[in-house]
Amino acid sequence: MSLFESASLCITPNGTKASKLYAIKPTSGAGDLSVTRATTATRVNSAGLIESVAVNVPRLDYTDSTCPSILVEPQRTNLFLRSQEFDNSSWTKSNTTVNANQTTSPDGTTTADKLNDIIIGSSNDYLLNVQSALSYTSGTPYTVSFYAKNIDRRYIYIRFVTNAFGTNKYAYFDLQNGVISKLDTGATANITSVGNGWFRCTATYTATVTTSTIYGVYIGLSADGLNNFYVNASVKSVYIWGAQLEAGSYATSYIPTTSASVTRNADVISKTGISSLIGQTEGTLYTEVKVNKLIGTASRYIFHVSDGTANNRIYIAFSGASSNILRARIFNGGTLQCSIDSSTITNTGTYKLALAYKNNDIVFYINGVQIGTDTSATIPTCSRVDIGQNYAGASQFSDNVSLSTLFKTRLTNNELAELTTI
C-alpha cells in the first residue's frame, strides 16, 4: 500500500482554474486551495516557452522539466520600460545599433532584437542604457536580468554605475559556454540556459546612493569577457530580449513592459478552516520542491500550517537568517518549540522534505537523510494551510512546488526515509 493512501490532504499541480488549485485528496473539495494574484504573470509552458497566464490562475511551470510544478513568487515590479523594444528611444544606444524583431525569442514570437557594436578605431565601450530616470534607494539590492543569444559577439555584461551604486560593478557573461567570465566582488550573478541557444543573464548589487538617475545600470558588449572597452574593427552582434530591473536580491519571472513599469502581484495559495485535515496532536508535512536558484538569506516559506497567526504554526522553509539553509520549525503560543536546520544547500535540483511531529517527538528528513530531531516540543492547534508562503500570504518561496501532502499521523522514521529518498 502506498503511504499516500493514508494522507489527509494531497496537492499536486494538476487540476486548476481561476482562483482554485484542486486537491487530489480529499476528493470532496474540502482541501481545494484558493489562489489569488490580482495581475497576469508569466510561466514556462510545456513547450519550454515563456507565456502569460491570467489573473488568479495558478502558474503550472515546466522550467527544466517535462512535469509541471507550482511557481509561487512575491510581488515585483519591472522598472525598465520597453523591455522587448531596444530599438525604441527609451533605450540610449552608445556606439551600438539595434535591429528590431530579428529572430525567435524565448516566448516563441519574432520579437528578439539584434544588438550590434559599430566600427571604431579606438578603445570604447558599446552599451545600452535607459533614457528615463529611474529611482534607486540606498541599502536596497537591485537585480538586472535579460535574455541573450550569441551571434558573433560572444560576451555581454551588466554594469552597476557609480551614480546609484557608489562604484562601478560588473558581471560578464559568456554566451558561447554559458558561464560567468568575470564578476566583481560584492556583486552576484547567474547565467541560465533557457533553450535554443538563449541564456538568461542576471546580476545583483546593492545601491549605496538614494537617487533618481538614468545612469544606474548599463547592458554592454565585451570583446574578451573581462573588459568593457575594446577597439572594434568589424561589426559583431548578439540577440537580446526581455530586460528587467527589479528591487530585490534575485531575479523573478519575466514581467513584460511597454510605455510604463509593470507590477506582478504575489501568488497566494491557501486554505482556511480545515482543522479536520491537519493532525492536531501528531502529523507529518511532506513536500517536493524544485530549487532552480539559490538565493541566500531570504525567508522563503515552502509548506506552512498555522492558526492564521505567527503564534501557532508548523512549517518548512528556507531560513531568512542563514544563507540557503532549509529549516523546520514549530511554534506554540508564540514560543519556539523546535528548530531544525540543514547544512548549507549548495546545489539546485529536486528536494523531498518531511517534518514529522508529535509531542516531544519531532524529526526532519531531506532526501532520505535524517537532518535532526527534537524531544521537547508541544504541538499547536492549526486550521490553515499555505503553499509557498506563510500565514500572512508573504515571504513567497520564489521557486517551484511539485507536491504538498499532510498526514494526520507521525510517520515512522523508516517511512520518512522511504518517502523522501530521491
Q: What is the structure's pLDDT at 384?
A: 98
pLDDT at 331 over 60: yes
Instruction: Map out the domains of the chain as residue ranges.
Output: 3-74+266-420, 77-264
95 pLDDT exceeds 60?
yes
Average pLDDT over residues 319-336: 96
Q: How many CA atoms within 13 Å lie on the side-chain side of 343?
A: 5
Position 160: which residue type?
A: F
Alpha-carbon gap, residue 218 to 236, rounded angstroms: 19
pLDDT at 65 over 80: no
For residues 81-98, average pLDDT? 98
pLDDT at 15: 83
pLDDT value for 1: 54
Establish whether domains 3-74+266-420 and 77-264 are of one fold.
yes
Q: Can you give the C-alpha Rg of the chain in angstroms?
A: 23
The domain made up of 3-74+266-420 has a fold known as Jelly Rolls (2.60.120)
What mean pLDDT do residues 124-143 have? 97
Q: Is the predicted pLDDT of residue 312 greater than 60, yes or no?
A: yes
Quote the percentage of the chain above a pLDDT of 90: 96
- Please say if the pLDDT value at position 411 is more than 70: yes
Q: If you average pLDDT over residues 54-68, what whole number do you get?
A: 93
Angle at 342 between CA 336 and CA 347, to 5 degrees: 140
- pLDDT on residue 304: 98
Contact 136, 211 (CB under 8 A): yes
Residue indicated by cell numbers 511551470: 61
Q: What is the mean pLDDT of the chain?
A: 97
pLDDT attached to residue 380: 98
Question: pLDDT tens across 19-37, in order?
Answer: 999 999 999 999 999 999 9
- Cis amide bond preceding 26, omega within 30: yes
CB within 8 Å of 205: residues ≥ 6 apart: 141, 142, 160, 165, 169, 186, 187, 188
Short-list 253, 143, 145, 148, CA closest to 199: 148
Mean pLDDT on 316-338: 97
Does residue 162 carry a pLDDT above 90?
yes
pLDDT tier, 409 (very low <50, low <70, confident <90, very high otherwise): very high
Superfamily of the domain at 77-264 = Galactose-binding domain-like (2.60.120.260)
pLDDT tens sequence across 2-14 = 889 999 999 999 8
Q: Mean pLDDT across the stretch 237-260?
A: 98
Q: Is the pLDDT of residue 405 over 70?
A: yes
Cα–Cα distance list, 260 to 167, 211, 347 (Å): 28, 19, 37
pLDDT interval class at 237 (50, 70, 90): very high
**pLDDT mean over 80-95:** 98
Res 243 pLDDT > 60: yes
Residue (of 90, 46, 101) closest to 68 by Cα position: 46
